[in-house]
Amino acid sequence: MFLYSALHDIPQDLRYLIGGTVNTVLMMVSLWMATTSFKHAYSTSTIYTVINLSMIPIGHAVSSLIVFGWPQKYIQNLCINAPIGLAGTFLGSILTELLDRIGFDSACYKVLSSLSILEESAEAGNMFTSILVMIITGLWAYILSNLVNGSSKEETKKQKKKAKGDKEL
């Protein structure tokens, strides 16, 4: 893929950060739109779960394009990576419900308003819950994705030697 080969000289951890940023922005915008539209009909954990499940194939495609390179057998690779997303969705749903029950966002707004950093709003939403859940599930996905998709150090050295040899030709 052209995009991945153009990004090949950028370290993989930085590419992961770029892909993660794209995925997070897509997820946050989708989650905000869904929460705004459906918060009166469904619980925040249900909305989170549906949006996160729909983001699994999208996030995998973005990660494949930017971070790891497009796999030869895409569907097989998606199936290998799907459990990471499913487990992350499960973890995120539980955390979202827990944080919603304990009033995490209200507590954050109260603390920030007492410090005169942010005004407390009647329509507070779930911004702080979403951010915390994204951080936790993002770390989860980062660690497991690198275990599943990352190449060994020896393979990376071989790829760099090959790339260097190709450039010299």
Q: What's the pLDDT score for residue 158?
A: 58
Sequence spans of domains, the chain: 12-149
83: how many CB neighbours lie within 10 A of its CB? 12
Residue by residue, pLDDT tens for the chain (169 residues) are 555 567 778 888 888 888 888 988 998 899 889 988 998 999 887 888 899 889 989 988 998 888 888 888 889 989 988 898 888 888 988 998 899 899 888 888 888 888 887 776 655 567 888 889 888 988 888 888 888 877 645 555 555 565 555 555 4
pLDDT of 100: 86
Q: pLDDT at position 64, please?
A: 86
Say which residue the tokens 């999208």 belong to. 58
**What is the total residue count of the chain?**
169
Task: Give residue 30's pLDDT.
Answer: 92
The pLDDT of residue 120 is: 64
The confidence score (pLDDT) of residue 165 equals 57
The CA–CA distances, whole Å, from 89 to 36, 58, 59, 80, 116 equal: 20, 14, 13, 16, 34
Q: Which two tokens stand for residue 51?
A: 């949006």
Within 10 A of 60 (CB to CB), how many other CB atoms are there? 24
pLDDT for 93 equals 84
pLDDT value, residue 155: 55
* Rounded-to-integer distance, Cα 37 and Cα 81, Å: 30
Nearest one of 34, 29, 22, 20 to 140, comparing CA atoms? 20
Rounded distance, CA 96 to CA 46, Å?
9
Terminal C-alpha separation, the chain: 20
Supply the pLDDT for residue 22.
92
